[in-house]
Chains A and B, each alone.
Chain A
């Protein structure tokens, strides 16, 4: 079958069962129109942000605001932002926290999920309950803040990782995925004398790539998007991650990142273009990563979500 026929196949509707009424034209148009509108409402703003960030200053000035139609593409905003200075540093901080945090969270979560996946083991019920109990109460902002402060974590990157490192929900998702793996596999390994750690590494993990991808993405997005911990635990502006810099730039209407005010002042760069470029930098990693993991979402979400 040629690629073309394959494409046409996939666009065509599968055969309808005899009892189902054929669709009416009006219904199809209405449905299609509404879906297109929904998608435009999501993609439209993103398009504008990306196009504005790629436009040269005269085009942005002429548009009087955000650019809808690209007219000449320039990467000057990006090269300026990433050529050292506040935004490059914030970018590095965000990437570092995300990578280290995700690896740490995944290690802790996978170990716990496997440890809890063998029902009937010693202390299994107690450990599971003490884990799940935290889903029903939160300790509250103030005591957590006081604790982090007196542990001496303020103004360290650890304060961005440790307090929110484990998500019980994610552990439960991993756990029920592990429990769904055919026990014959682990049993036969056990007969061959494999330890629990070995079973986890050589049997469970290779079979769980889908759920591992999904949960890693959840953790990574969490770390990438976080700004609140940084805003209360960090006082040093040099340490701020990207989201906090974005807040300062756009929300608090600071005109331009430190180091680039001069270029904006002399009219080489557009404030708006720079702001949009920072937004794109904050947006691109998640927008690129999530589609790859997307086909696993449903499975990953539901194996654990419906019942812990």
Chain B
């Protein structure tokens, strides 16, 4: 029998530990559980667990300061915020005039906002169609390679760009596809000039999608490969016995095994639909112009931090965040309807 809190100096016996739903691939062990509830007096628990609580506090304090407090700061969206009415940006909130929903109504009549919203949605759809399936396809391909060395090398190379900064990725693309890049130089030598994908506004959306694929498709493979590794070979063998060829086995065994992971990642992606990528667009904003590259995130940055119109930018950010939460909840509900677990349980 394993000893639980019962053997502790405070002399409290724990009920049999209940297994938590640990992650699928975690080593199977019952986590040590501390007894709680009515039987143990509050002061005993406080004395027993104070070290654990103290350990958690630094992280909670940081999140409180940089995640919860700024949440309150969103009230500037309902103001005509002026950072200079007070010596400090936060106390200035108390001195700025309230304007109600004026910023929001201004947003609805702002063509630039709608342009940014449209760009965001188009990019989201493009990413969903052109980016999302790529890691799945790559995982199926790598999974079908039997030689361990080949698998390992291919994976090692494909993971690499995930760790490069966006600055680096954009720069690499610029050196290859840009006006002074290697393709343009080669074409110029053959007499065809004027090649520059990096400043081509009409091609821009495909370019950024390609950058995302180059950077992160290989990394996305990990999750799918892990799900595939968990599939029992008995299933494949049984299917083969029943006369299923390799394509039918893929359709009836492999893909169903991936279904929950695909559903989960799809929910996450849809929930994040309004965040199509920020750094990538900000870095290339100058090259292609705001018309093609402006997304909601860069619009907030431009209006707030560049133009100093904090209240309006906060209003745009708030609407984006609110729609984002609705999307997560909605997508998760939809996943439940399809019989998948989604991000969290009901």
Mark A residues whose CB is within 8 Å of B.
Answer: 10-14, 16-17, 19-21, 23, 31-32, 34-35, 38-39, 41-43, 45-46, 48-49, 64-66, 107-109, 111-112, 114-124, 127, 130-131, 134, 136-147, 149-150, 162-166, 168, 171, 176-177, 179-184, 186-188, 190-191, 193, 195-197, 200, 217, 221, 224-228, 232, 243, 246-247, 250-252, 276, 279, 282-283, 286-287, 289-291, 294, 297-299, 301-307
Query: Given the interface contacts A39-B157, A297-B222, does A119 sit within 8 Å of B214 by beta carbon?
Result: no
Chain B hits for A184, CB < 8 A: 2-3
Specify the main secondary structure of chain B where it touches its partner: helix
Interface 0/1 of B13-38, CB less than 8 Å to A: 01001001111111111111111100
Q: Which A residues are in CB contact (< 8 Å) with B321?
A: 137-138, 140
Residue of B nearest to A143 (CB): B73
B246 touches A123 (CB 8 A): no
Tell me the bound Cα distance from A140 to B196 in angstroms.
35
Interface residues in B, total, Cβ within 8 A: 131
Is B58's beta carbon under 8 Å from chain A?
yes
Once bound together, how far apart are the Cα atoms of A291 and B21, in whole Å? 31
Q: Chain B interface (Cβ within 8 Å of chain A)? A: 2-4, 7-9, 14, 17, 20-36, 42, 45-46, 48-49, 51-56, 58-60, 62-63, 65-74, 76, 83, 88-91, 138, 141-142, 144-150, 153-161, 163-168, 170-172, 174-176, 180-182, 184-186, 188-189, 214, 218, 222-223, 225-226, 233, 236-237, 240-241, 245-246, 264, 278-279, 282-283, 286-287, 297, 300-301, 304-305, 310, 313-314, 317-318, 320-321, 324-325, 328
Given the known inter-chain contacts A139-B67, A145-B304, A302-B23, please indicate yes or no for A42 contacting B157, CB distance below 8 A: yes
B29, A183: Cβ atoms closer than 8 Å: yes
Is the beta-carbon distance between A149 and B317 smaller than 8 angstroms?
no
Kindly state the separation between the CA atoms of A118 and B49 in the bound complex, as whole angstroms. Answer: 9
Contact A302–B58 (Cβ < 8 Å): no
A sample of 12 more A-B contacts (CB under 8 A), given A144-B73, A147-B73, A221-B163, is: A19-B241, A20-B236, A21-B246, A45-B172, A122-B46, A141-B317, A143-B314, A146-B89, A149-B89, A176-B22, A180-B29, A297-B159
